[in-house]
Amino acid sequence: MGAGATCIRLEKNVDRIAARYGMHAEITIMPRHVHLSLWDTDSADCVTAIASVAKCPISFNVNTRLSELSWEIADGKTDFTQARAVLEGIDSFDRQSEWLLLCLVPAANAAFCGLFGGDAIAMFIVAIATLAGYYLKQSMLRRGIDLRVTVFACAFVSAVLGATDILFSFGDTPAVALGTSVLYLVPGIPFLNSFSDVLYRHYICALGRFADALVLTCCLSAGLCAAMLLMGTGMF
C-alpha cells in the first residue's frame, strides 16, 4: 500500500494467498490503516488484524516482487516458512542509486520541456534547475525534513533557476523553461492511483490519495509562485 499499489491489486494478492490456505479474506483499506479479517472456510473461526500503512517511498519493484510472491504461494511453489523469509527479504525501502537519479531526472524534465515546445536553451536551463532541485530534495529527505516543506523549497529553487531564461533572455521560449522547471515534483503516481481506486469504488482510499497529491501540488505551486514574485517574472 505504501509502495504505491492500487487497492484492486492488494485485494487480488491477498485473496489468492488466503485461498491457498483454505481461508476467506476480507480487506478494508483506509488511507493510513488496513483491516484484514480471515475466515477458516471449514469453521466459523475468524481473526482480524489492523496495521498501519508503512511510510515508504513508491516502489514498483516491491509491488512486482509481492505480486510474484503471491502467485508462488497460490501455485504451491513456496511454503509458508519460505514465503515468510522471502517477504522479510523484500525491503520496502529499496533505494535507487542517488547518482543515477541525479542523471535521469534532469534528463527527463529537460525532455518534458522539449515536449512542451521548449528550445534547446530552455531544455538546458530546465536540466540545471532540475538537477539543483532534485539534489536539494534528496538532501532534505535524507535529513528527515517534511515532504511538503521539501517540495516547496525544491520548487522555489528550481523556479528561481528556471526564471534565469526570462531574466537574461537566453532563448526564445523562456516561459516554457520556467513552467516546466518544477514538473518533476508533480506527484503523478498518487494522482493516477487515486483515480484508479475510484474506478474500483475504493472511494475513501482514493480521496486520501488524491488529498495527499493535491497538498503536494499546492506546495509546489506555492514555491513556484514565491519564486515568480521574487524574480519579478509576473504570475502566469
Partner 1 sequence: MLLKILYDALLAAIAAIGFSAISRPPRRAYLYCAIIAAVGHSVRYMLMNMPEPVTIIPATLIASFLIGTLAVFLSPRAHMPAETCLFPALLPMIPGIYAYKAFGGLALCLLSESEAAFARAQYLFSYNALTCLCILVCMVVGATLPIFIFKKISFQATR
Interface residue list for partner 1 (CB under 8 A): 4-6, 9, 12, 57-64, 67-68, 70-71, 75, 94-96, 100-101, 104-112, 114-116, 179-180, 182-184, 186, 188-189, 191-193, 195-196, 198-199, 217-218, 220-222, 224-225, 235-236
The greatest distance separating any two alpha carbons of the chain, rounded to the nearest whole angstrom, comes to 76
Minimal distance in Å, beta carbon 163 to partner 1?
A: 14
Instruction: Select 59 or 150, whichever has its Cβ closest to partner 1.
Output: 59
Nearer residue to partner 1 within complex by CB, 34 or 216: 216
Query: In sequence order, which residues have a C-beta less than 8 Å from that of residue 114 and are 6 or more positions away?
Result: 123
Q: Shortest approach of partner 1 to residue 26 CB, angstroms?
A: 19
In the chain, helix, strand, coil percent, each to 5?
65, 10, 25
**Nearer Cβ to partner 1 (48/96):** 96
- Cβ-contact 47, 40 below 8 angstroms: no
| C-beta closer to partner 1: residue 45 or 74 | 74
Distances (CA, A) of 157 to 43, 73, 137, 171, 212: 61, 48, 10, 20, 22
What is the per-residue burial (b if ≥16 Cβ within 10 Å, else e) of 212-223? Answer: bbeebbebbbeb
Q: Are 105 and 167 in contact (CB under 8 A)?
A: no
Nearer to partner 1, 23 or 151 (CB): 151
CB of 210 vs partner 1, minimal distance in Å: 10
**CA atoms of 147 and 125, how far apart (whole Å):** 25
Indicate the residue type of 49: A
Compute the least distance from the CB of residue 42 to partner 1, in Å: 27
